[in-house]
Copies of this chain bind each other. A is one copy, B any other.
């Protein structure tokens, strides 16, 4: 075998080809983002010696780039939820999260997440994460105030609200502006720094796993200072290396629909290497086709009063859904163009507050004029808006079930934004596939038998978040931090049970 093939993540190194260990530890963690940081803290606090290998020259990963909203609740409510008057119920949270994942749901994982969510809140607070006991009223994509709680998904929208009592579960760090991610990572990094049992190797690229003759993962190969190092991980390796949104070849292979978006969301390390390393030793990559594609037609929240139509002039989704759900349904239409129709009042300060950048492509002093300007079939948009306006008057959206608070007749003059993928608007996207794991973080083969010595968390694993149509902000960092902790604990338990 040449040196080149040895360092391919798809070709694990055999332990019998390892003649000495350059580094030895109990638990080796690949990636120092939200998942890797939390895994390290828990593993260390469980008595393990830990080394984190981070590709970049500082920790953070995609968590640092995010707003770091954290999806938590249930069990009567977190301190913040209760202070804001929401007594969240575990079953409502469970039902909601099961609906967000649809048939792709991992029920055991969602159950574990919901039942331990209050404990997770407390764990974060105990480690220095602060949340203000205040509720952000405005419908927003990110919270630009230091309020501690907001709605971040489809909780109040059809069909979710009809099956699970709505409750806000997006917890926002106490910081002004969109600065939650850097603050969160600083707190986690401080915790890592304080623990002597954890050391961090930066600018260290994990190349491939090392397995023994029974396919047990016993370590990994990393490259530091252009030198390959064999790392012995006595208890296990935890892959927290992010997703694959930055690997164009993998996106094209597994989730090509996402390429209709134009701004990948992630950090440069999201090359799928963690997923590939896991697959190479028998781990199962699941949900690889799924992802999130955004259509951020708000803020301002007033735009929710507009309507989204396809090139038949038809509405096809309630416009009060979270932007990722709108993106998912938009991509599934047989339609060459999509327009967002609204009044001047509804448009408001869109140009300032949104980063969507969709262009106004038509205006009309009447619906008929707008319809004609857009080249839609005569009478199509007129009929859609006639029914919609009747419904607004009556206070019930009989067609798409948008909540009554957003119903306002569309009275000309009207404008149309072109929100067609590829026509100027910004469509951020990210992947939702990863290694199948048990709730403990153990990576499993297609028969769900654990690969000994291998764990995954965060976006390298396939967690509680499964679909773009159900995605809610705060679920990624919520899942990354929670699943990181589970894996850190489990990797230490493995060792403890052997001792």
Residues on B with beta carbons closer than 8 Å to the beta carbon of A332 = 329, 332-333
Residues on B with beta carbons closer than 8 Å to the beta carbon of A91 = none
Whether A286 contacts B446 by the Cβ 8 Å rule is no
The 0/1 profile, CB within 8 Å of B marked 1, for residues 304-343 of chain A is: 0000000010111100000000000100111000000000
Complex Cα–Cα for A156 and B104 (A)? 35
The 0/1 profile, CB within 8 Å of B marked 1, for residues 281-302 of chain A is: 0101111111000000000000
Complex Cα–Cα for A471 and B133 (A)? 54
Interface residues of A in 1-44 (CB under 8 A from B): 1, 8, 10-11, 14
Complex Cα–Cα for A27 and B442 (A)? 37
Known contacts: A103-B256, A399-B312. The answer to whether A10 contacts B447 by CB under 8 A is yes
Q: Does A276 reach chain B (CB closer than 8 Å)? A: yes
Whether B317 contacts A334 by the Cβ 8 Å rule is yes
Identical subunits present:
2
The 0/1 profile, CB within 8 Å of B marked 1, for residues 188-225 of chain A is: 00000000000000000000000001110000000000
Known contacts: A280-B282, A387-B377. The answer to whether A8 contacts B312 by CB under 8 A is no
Q: Does A445 reach chain B (CB closer than 8 Å)? A: yes
Whether A103 contacts B252 by the Cβ 8 Å rule is yes
Whether B380 contacts A399 by the Cβ 8 Å rule is yes
Q: Does A259 reach chain B (CB closer than 8 Å)? A: yes
Whether A280 contacts B103 by the Cβ 8 Å rule is no
Whether B314 contacts A314 by the Cβ 8 Å rule is yes
Q: Does A122 reach chain B (CB closer than 8 Å)? A: no
Among A256, A383, A446, residue most surrounded by chain B Cβ atoms (within 10 Å):
A446
Residues on B with beta carbons closer than 8 Å to the beta carbon of A285 = 285
What is the CB-to-nearest-CB distance from A27 to chain B, in angstroms, rounded to a whole number? 25
Q: Does A400 reach chain B (CB closer than 8 Å)? A: yes
What is the CB-to-nearest-CB distance from A313 to chain B, in angstroms, rounded to a whole number? 8
Residues on B with beta carbons closer than 8 Å to the beta carbon of A103 = 252, 256-257, 259
Complex Cα–Cα for A280 and B281 (A)? 8
The 0/1 profile, CB within 8 Å of B marked 1, for residues 428-465 of chain A is: 00000000100000000111010000000000000000
Residues on B with beta carbons closer than 8 Å to the beta carbon of A11 = 215, 282, 445
Whether B377 contacts A8 by the Cβ 8 Å rule is no
Residues on B with beta carbons closer than 8 Å to the beta carbon of A449 = 8, 10
Residues on B with beta carbons closer than 8 Å to the beta carbon of A145 = none
What is the CB-to-nearest-CB distance from A383 to chain B, in angstroms, rounded to a whole number? 5
Complex Cα–Cα for A226 and B327 (A)? 53
8 closest A-B pairs by CB:
A103-B256, A332-B332, A289-B289, A10-B445, A377-B398, A383-B383, A312-B399, A10-B447
Write the residues of chain A forming the contact surface with B, with a CB cutoff of 8 angstroms.
1, 8, 10-11, 14, 102-104, 159, 213-215, 250, 252-254, 256-257, 259, 276, 279-280, 282, 284-290, 312, 314-317, 329, 332-334, 377, 379-380, 383, 387, 398-400, 436, 445-447, 449
**Can you identify 21 A-B contacts, CB atoms within 8 angstroms?**
A10-B446, A10-B447, A11-B215, A11-B282, A14-B213, A102-B256, A103-B259, A250-B446, A253-B436, A254-B286, A276-B447, A280-B445, A280-B446, A289-B290, A312-B314, A329-B332, A329-B334, A332-B332, A377-B398, A379-B387, A383-B383
